[in-house]
């Protein structure tokens, strides 16, 4: 199986090299890994004690971030090395101030993994959620370096649980971990069924992260002035299909004010959105306190503001549910409001749970969205109940970070 795995890794990287001239993400993937060893050696020229975090992409970084920050406080003399697999994580967080080194994970070969681990020399390693790289995990295990999976989640469809011949090999990877910190009981049952006992149901660290964000959120006095005494709907991380569903409602319904934060903030996309809207619209970067009351819609034209803007909302719509899947709903839920999203949400545990509890509402069309939100506007107790469910859902799931820290003190 190792030969087959190595062959798959080889052909994956061959494919990346073939498409790189025509594909921006593939090109970044290759460029970021060029001369990775000498660059890493230059960045780690001293003998400082090291903790290593590996994340696939940006979402996993946000899950790992509360633990990184807590460990940095607990071990201020230790160096933090943060690695990414995907350019979409590395390019956005390559200047993350808390990390001493931010880098790409080299291709998962035996040689690369050995050189990587020998160079960073971690005292402990943390992999976030889904990351399983055979040679890097094996290299850690061979050197008796504790390695933890945090915010882990497992499904029976994964190859670890297959009865086919390769299932045994994938299960071998699980044996490299010192401890599993899992999101839910279902994952714990699956691992227990394989005889795994080194596991703890700690929950999802993203809840700790969104609460930290909420407590440190930026104030926007101009948004307070904009909304006045009307309820505010905030549509966050919207894509074109989300906007095609939302805009007819916005154009027709005058009892709310609206903030739209598109996922894509290019001039062309924002221009298209402004042409669709039939109401007075202003870009947040251009909003003026003297006439903001005249606007009905604010379009957010910069990244980094959305999580703070949710504090002003009465309703939230989260984009992505008409495509590959919804974006982060917890940033909105933590401020206590009904959360709406498109129909493709089933792979997101928090969306399913919040829907079942009555704090979130999947919608398939403008008509369904209109019916649901109008009912809440005419029956305020429905909105208050949904808002309370959302707020309590986040509060009741806090604490994963401290569970992880407490356990690693005893396992390390």
**What homologous superfamily does CATH list for 218-395?**
Glycogen Phosphorylase B; (3.40.50.2000)
Q: Give 55's pLDDT tier (boundaries 50, 70, 90).
A: very high
What would the pLDDT profile of 214-252 be if each residue is shown by its tens digit?
998 899 999 999 999 999 999 999 999 999 999 999 999
Do the domains at 2-204+399-411 and 218-395 have one common CATH topology?
yes
Alpha helix locations (H) across 78-155? 87-93, 110-120, 134-142
- CB-based contact 139:113 (threshold 8 Å): yes
CA distance 151 to 130: 9
Local structure of 133: helix, strand or coil: coil
The torsion defined by the Cα of 209, 214, 215 and 216, in degrees rounded to 10, comes to 90
pLDDT of residue 165: 82
Which residues are bridge partners to 58 per DSSP?
none
Q: Strands 101-104, 79-84: parallel, antiparallel or unpaired by DSSP?
A: parallel
Domain 2-204+399-411 -> CATH class:
alpha beta
Which pLDDT does position 3 carry in this prediction?
Answer: 83
Closest of 152, 123, 147, 153 to residue 135, by C-alpha: 147
Which residues are registered as beta bridge partners of 240?
none
* Whether residue 412 has pLDDT greater than 60: no
| 345 CA to centre of own chain | 14
3-state helix, strand, coil in the chain (%, to 5): 50, 15, 35
**0.95 surpassed by pTM:** no
Maximum Cα–Cα distance across the chain: 69
Cα angle 286-289-295, degrees, rounded to a multiple of 5: 70
At what angle are helices 165-174 and 2-19 packed, to 10 degrees? 80
Handedness of CA 348, 350, 355, 360 (dihedral sign): negative
Looking at residue 141, the DSSP 8-state letter turns out to be H
Q: Where are the domains of the chain?
A: 2-204+399-411, 218-395
Kindly report, residue by residue over 349-369, the tens digit of the pLDDT.
Answer: 899 999 999 999 999 999 999
Is the pLDDT assigned to residue 45 strictly greater than 80? no
The bridge status of strand 281-283 relative to strand 232-238 is: unpaired
Give the pLDDT score at 194: 94
Looking at residue 411, what is its pLDDT?
A: 53
Q: Give the pLDDT confidence score for residue 181 in this predicted structure.
A: 97
Per residue in 147-195, pLDDT tens?
999 999 999 999 999 988 888 889 999 999 999 999 999 999 999 999 9
Mind giving me the DSSP string for 25-64? HHHHHHHHHTTHHHHHHHHT-S---EEEEEESSHHHHHHH
Residue 223 in contact with residue 81, Cβ under 8 Å? Answer: no
Q: Determine the length of the chain.
A: 412
**Which of 23-27, 102-106, 279-283, 398-402 is the least confident region?**
23-27
Q: How far apart are CA 152 and CA 180, in angstroms?
A: 7
């Amino acid at each position: 199986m190792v030969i087959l795995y190595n062959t798959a890794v080889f052909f994956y990287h061959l494919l990346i090299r073939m498409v790189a001239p025509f594909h921006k993400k593939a090109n970044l993937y290759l460029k970021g890994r060029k001369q990775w060893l000498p660059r890493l050696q230059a960045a780690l020229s001293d003998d400082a004690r090291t903790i290593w975090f590996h994340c696939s992409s940006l979402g996993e970084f946000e899950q790992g971030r509360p633990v990184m920050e807590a460990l940095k406080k607990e071990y201020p003399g230790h160096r933090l090395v943060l690695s990414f697999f995907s350019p979409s994580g590395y390019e956005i967080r390559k200047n993350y101030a808390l990390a001493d080194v931010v880098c790409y994970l080299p291709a998962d070969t035996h040689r690369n993994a050995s050189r990587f681990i020998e160079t960073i020399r971690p005292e402990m390693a943390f992999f976030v959620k889904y990351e399983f790289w055979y040679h890097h995990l094996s290299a850690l295990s061979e050197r008796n370096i504790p390695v933890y999976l945090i915010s882990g989640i497992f499904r029976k469809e994964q190859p670890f649980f297959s009865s086919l011949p390769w299932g045994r090999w994938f299960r071998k990877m699980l044996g490299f971990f010192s401890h599993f910190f899992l999101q839910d009981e279902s994952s714990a049952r699956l691992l227990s069924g394989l005889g795994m006992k080194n596991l703890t149901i700690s929950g999802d660290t993203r809840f700790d992260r969104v609460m930290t964000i909420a407590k440190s959120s930026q104030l926007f006095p101009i948004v307070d002035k904009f909304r006045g005494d009307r309820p505010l709907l905030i549509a966050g991380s919207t894509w074109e299909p989300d906007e095609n569903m939302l805009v007819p409602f916005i154009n027709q319904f005058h009892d709310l004010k609206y903030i739209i934060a598109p996922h894509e903030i290019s001039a062309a996309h924002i221009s298209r959105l402004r042409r669709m809207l039939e109401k007075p619209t202003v870009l947040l970067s251009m909003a003026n306190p003297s006439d903001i009351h005249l606007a009905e819609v604010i379009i957010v034209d910069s990244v980094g503001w959305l999580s703070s803007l949710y504090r002003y909302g009465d309703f939230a719509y989260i984009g992505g549910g008409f495509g590959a899947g919804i974006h982060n709903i917890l940033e909105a839920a933590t401020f206590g409001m009904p959360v709406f999203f498109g129909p493709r949400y089933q792979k997101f545990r928090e969306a399913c749970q919040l829907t079942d509890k009555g704090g979130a509402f999947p919608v398939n069309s403008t008509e369904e969205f209109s019916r649901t939100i109008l009912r809440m506007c005419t029956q305020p107790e429905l909105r208050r109940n949904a808002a309370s469910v959302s707020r309590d859902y986040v509060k009741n799931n806090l604490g994963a970070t401290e569970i992880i820290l407490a356990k690693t003190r005893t396992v390390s």
